[in-house]
Amino acid sequence: MDKPLLPDNEDVRLAGLRALNILDTQSEESLDRVTRLAKYLFDVPISLISLVDEDRQWFKSCIGLDVKETPRDISFCGHAILDDDPLVICDTLADPRFADNPLVLNTPKIRFYAGYPIKLSEGVRIGTLCIIDIKPRAFSNEDKQALKDLTLITQREISIMQLATRDELTNIPNRRGFILMAERYLDLCIRQQFNAIVIFIDLDSFKPINDKYGHAEGDRVLQLFASIISSLCRKSDLFGRFGGDEFVLLLTQVTLSECQRLISRIEKSAATLNLSLPSSTTVSFSFGVAEFNPRQPLELEELLQIADADMYKNKEAKKAS
């Protein structure tokens, strides 16, 4: 059995995949519709939309299998993402790369596989739309074109989902995207008994910037502030724009003192940002925190409410001082 090689752009590929915020999320009717259509069109028992993660292939849409993921090193899709053309194996037992693959020898006993790579707008291949049969079969050029057409539909639906979870202005997760990811983070914290801290940030006196200098300047401030957060957070930290001039961060396995040091670094960078703004414009922010205890877990919405209330308390204290 040949294990799939890693693409040359693996780091970029994984970053693009994870930026979608769809791994380990619920099924989407728009994508299930594609796999149902593929199953019907090609008359196969199994149809999948498979996303190739670092060590696994995870099925965003799955018809005909009872599992949601399999190891990447035995995956067919791991091979399929290495090329822009479809990977077609008419008879796995006749192909030395796959003849002794556990997925061929054991359930689901794959004998036929056809997978077309799913690409992001940048051309990065993140997974496949694939069909599987338990018996050998031919696959014509017309079949390849039909599978390609379904894959293009899949790519369009994923692009729509991406836009729905990312803030178009700052290119970081929006409210929906943050909540989807944050709920997964907190589930992981409960399983692994990790602590977490939610930070709610609200820019001070942001409205006067829009009023005095226009929305283009206000948008630039939001973009620059988002880039500050992005550059200072760890790769494992989650952050997003909650709307308007509000930003939220979720940090795992940190202490309050570490959290405060991050806030201080953001404040210092924001002060540097002021040098590029009109002389009478300053960017500052108020923040509030909420701690997550995995032994007595709170729901995400409650954590956000606590952090938001703490932020407003601190903002009022600023005004009074």
SS (H, E, C) 84-119: CCCEEECCHHHCCCCCCCHHHHCCCCCCEEEEEEEE
Bridge partners, residue 48, by sequence: 62, 130
Half-sphere exposure of 210 (CA within 13 A, CB side): 11
For residues 157 and 177, give the distance between their C-alpha atoms in angstroms, rounded to a whole number: 16
- Report yes or no: 91 and 136 within 8 Å, Cβ to Cβ: yes
Q: Where in the chain is the domain with CATH 3.30.450.40?
A: 10-165
pTM of model > 0.75:
no
What whole-number distance in Å separates Cα of residue 119 and Cα of residue 48? 15
Q: In what side-by-side order are the strands of the sheet with 246-252?
A: 238-243, 246-252, 196-204, 284-292
* Cα–Cα distance, 143 to 150 (Å, whole number): 11
Within the chain, which residue ranges are assigned CATH 3.30.70.270?
175-320
Rounded Cα gap, residues 185 and 83, in angstroms:
33
Q: Given this model, what pLDDT does residue 11 score?
A: 87
Torsion of CA 68, 71, 75, 79, to 10 degrees: 120
Question: In DSSP terms, which residues pair with 247 in a beta bridge?
Answer: 201, 241
- pLDDT for the residue numbered 312: 95
Rounded to the nearest 5 degrees, what angle is found at the Cα of 196, between the Cα atoms of 190 and 202? Answer: 135
Task: Specify burial of residue 140 (Cβ count, 10 A radius: 0-12, 13-18, 19+).
Answer: exposed
Is pLDDT of 277 > 80?
A: no
pLDDT digits (tens, 9 = 90+) for 13-57: 988 888 787 888 888 899 999 999 999 999 999 999 999 999 999
58-89 pLDDT, tens digit per residue, is 999 999 999 999 999 999 999 999 999 999 99
| CA–CA dist 63, 44 (Å, integer) | 10
Identify which of 59, 93, 94 has the alpha carbon closest to the alpha carbon of residue 75.
59
Tens digits of residue pLDDT in 140-156? 999 999 999 999 999 99
Question: What pLDDT score was predicted for residue 112?
Answer: 98
Pairs from 298-303 (Cβ < 8 Å, separation ≥ 24): 300/179, 300/182, 300/183, 300/186, 303/198
Q: Assign 228 a pLDDT band (cuts: 50, 70, 90).
A: very high
220 Rama class: left (phi>0) / alpha (psi -120 to 50) / beta: alpha
Containing 61, the helix (H) or strand (E) segment is: strand 56-63
Task: Show Cβ contacts of residue 223 under 8 Å, excluding neighbours closer than 6 positions.
Answer: 169, 170
Nearest residue to 5 via CA among 67, 55, 73: 73
Q: Which residue has the higher pLDDT, 177 or 91?
A: 91
Domain 175-320: homologous superfamily in CATH: Reverse transcriptase/Diguanylate cyclase domain (3.30.70.270)
Q: What is the CA radius of gyration of the chain?
A: 24
Range 10-165 classified under CATH 3.30.450.40: yes
Distance between CA 123 and CA 130 in Å, rounded?
Answer: 18
Q: What is the mean pLDDT of residues 276-297?
A: 86
Candidates 284, 272, 277; CA nearest to 315 is 284
- Give CA separation, 78 vs 7, 22, 87, 97, 221, in Å: 9, 18, 10, 12, 41
What's 47's DSSP letter? E
d(CA 257, CA 248): 18
